[in-house]
Structure 1
Amino acid sequence: MKKLMVGMALTATLATAVTPGFGSIGGNQGKAYAATVTYKVTASKLNVRSGAGTNYGIIGSVVKDQMLSVVSKSGSWYKINYNGRTGYVSSDYVQASGTTTPPAESTTYTVTASTLNVRSGAGTSYASIGSVTKGQKLSVVSKSGSWYKINYNGRTGYVSSDYVQASGTTTPPAESTTYTVTASTLNVRSGAGTSYASIGSVTKGQKLSVVSKSGSWYKINYNGRTGYVSSDYVQASATASPKLVVDSFKTLGNAQQVILVTADNYDTKSAKIQTFEKVDGKWKQVLTANGVLGQKGFALSKKEGDMESPTGKYTIGTAFGRYENPGTKLPYRKITANDVWVDDSKSSLYNTWQQKPANGRWTSAENMDIPAYDYGFVINYNESRTPGNGSAIFFHVGTNYTAGCTATSKEQVVSILKWLNPEKNPVIIQSPVSELDKY
């Protein structure tokens, strides 16, 4: 698999330059500046291309020992100022004129999972467009919730932040920031410079979602595509965060972590799973994922064997799995071949974790050593163990439907297990959307 980021060790002496560029407002030009670094060409002849890859057109060439004004790095390509326009050259054939580390728009992270899906959007509901493997370096552009946006084989992809870690001491990228347009009309361009085509415009007071900064240009999300605007004509908006659903909950007590499982109605098995954490007195959303409930949806009044998931607010019990602890702070129990959960309503051990053989202690029990329980945790439902009110209610691995539990992909279960902290008194709330006002 081709590495997404090629590292280079660069030596010699460094020279820096400041190269003027121009920002355009409705056709008027205003001066803007971008810091650059000087590099020397090592190849006899090196093509300059219109984008960061050999699939882009050639717009010219440079020769050995020619000095280049490098603005930033994208994967294994350097973005340069070339004859008054933006060009790209392979970093394999240039070297710094000094000891300074080359500039980088993105941040390098290392994959920690054996295999990690790369998806087309920030969530498991998006299609997989490929995969990366343990130890592979990723060029991370920005962060969205618990997902990193990366450059993947010349296109944009997303990977779960739970399975990558910063290479060295690099600080993780920040999530998108909202900015406000200050110019009456501001061109949005296809690249970070006035040499790039205008793909539209924004107007005074309009809010922009800024992903990152390149020199004096902001990279933004514009009508579903990537655009660039001059930083001279936008300013950071007030930092007020949108209100979250948990902000209106009145029954959370001292809980500082919440798993919210909702469905459109009682009869659907499809669920939305969201996690929230209180930080410095304010709720922050951590994760959103698709999930599934019991085959018949939520229960109005849960009963043993009804194939429905209970509604309500519950504390989190023991974490479990068929493998070693994935890194959760919860008490963790590894499942063995003899482990069962007693669902015999007439047994004194009803709704408890036991081990075979039964020796007359129960007549019915659920086997724990199954793939659905590769990882999960106990939802503390029916702690009084009232006969017939339901047993073995877990949060576990699954993507179809359950017999009364709540489930999602293994990737998301592990992510949530790593996030849960018993010191933050986590709870899980399960409810149809229409009844959230109960909480």
Structure 2
Amino acid sequence: MKKLILPTFCFAVLSTVAFEEKISAAPLHAEQANIETGVMFVHVNSGLLNMRKTGTESASVVAKLAKGTKVTVYSESKGWAKIRANGKDGYVSTNYLSATKPGTLTKAAVAIKTTTKYVNVSTGSLNMRKTGTESASVVAKLAKGTQVTVYSESKGWAKIKANGKDGYVSTKYLSTTKPGTVTKAAAIVKTKTKYVNVSTGSLNMRKSGIESASIVAKLTRGTQVTVYSESKGWAKIKANGKDGYVSTKYLSAAKPGSGSTIATPQKTTTKYVNVSTGSLNMRKSGIESASIVAKLTRGTQVTVYADSKGWAKIKANGKDGYVSNKYLSTTKPGTVTKAAATVKTTTKYVNVSTGSLNMRKSGIESASIVAKLSKGTKVTVYSESKGWAKIKANGIDGYVSTDYLSTTKPGTAPNPTIPEKTTTKYVNVSSGSLNMRKSGTESASIVAKLSKGTKVTVYSESKGWAKIKANGKDGYVSTKYLSAAKPGSGSTIATPQKTTTKYVNVSTGSLNMRKSGIESASIVAKLSKGTKVTVYSESKGWA
């Protein structure tokens, strides 16, 4: 098989660039453009092979191909082949194509190297599926110890033949020796003995090393377990005659209470609950949806065992649980320490053009609003990070956008909210008007529409957006529609200097031209096959 496929594969790779250039230059068929292609055959075990409009499982089916159908392959990418068959163009899975016609026995086919393995499941049977995915249909159920012939292994799946049928199984349930056979290698497997060390309740032993796996047993504190391996926070074990997985953080090298070192954290810290209002929820695990085990009032002393991803594992009032670490402080609320006295703050003022400024519970747009601050309100700024300022205003703590704070009170000269250094540019759109938005995102509300040639003052530019003032209003516009010279003045403008000409090449129907480079963007036109287009730029699959 290698000797037959390799020339065709290399030939296809060498011709890919030429093919792509010709096919994009004009809508010609492969024969007309003299494109060199490869020939293969449909190879399905049963039924027909779907030829789809594009290389995705969800694409519409343009034809159904019988076993042995001869196809012309233009290119292969990510498991899909672009082909022509029975006078139609489309895409099929490369899994169902072969270099030889089914039933043709070649020297290469005889030389295929296979391996023999055995089904090794702890309980039940192993599903053999039609393709190498969990959602594929089951073609057979294989009992423990079944001998299988393995053709290939990839991404956790093995392509096999068993009991006269072809299919795919998970590689983790195959072994090189028949279950029950003791080999020299098996005899020297190194295991460790550990003990269950939970503070309360029991430890769940699960079918696999994930939180959502089914529970096969509950292990009490002090239970002795045999550990086969440990990976990514999970231990594969045997306990009470059962195999399964448990979290490594609840295992210790010595039996709890034996006087030896156990898994209890050696280093802890003391902190205090510091909420502005109400109480702090202590949850069963470090996620917002976990059940609440206790409510802790402001000033409650807690012992912190660990801190990770915004959650602290604690003990408080004799109970264990997790709380958000942003509501813990190293000093008791109301206690003034030397360190607290030296915290450096700055004073700023709310500077909004209209309405009021939302002060939120945390530094995200979706956080709840704790207060609305009017223009000119004096605030104390503790820190600034990622466009948000942690502040105190009118006796309330919260977060506001740094865009709407200034170092001087609005109306006070000089006004430092205006950048010292600005540049002048002009709106340069080919048609229509340019949207000026409230913030630098496509979803922000539109505050004005600027016509071509409008003069704007640019304060700053970042990530494709410019903060500007135009026609007496402040806002943001896309930098790609601004130029240093007024359109038509004869100076260099923002129009791309280098363009290419290409043609629409669709096999059927028309090509959607969208407002922006995403599938969900609105359609502004439908282009028929052969339409000539001018390409300014190409990025991430969009032109």
Task: Tell me which interval the TM-score lies in, with the shorter structure as reference length.
Answer: under 0.3
Greater relative contact order structure (CA < 8 Å, 6+ sep): 1
Which one has the largest radius of gyration? 2
Scaled by the length of structure 1, the TM-score of the pair is 0.26
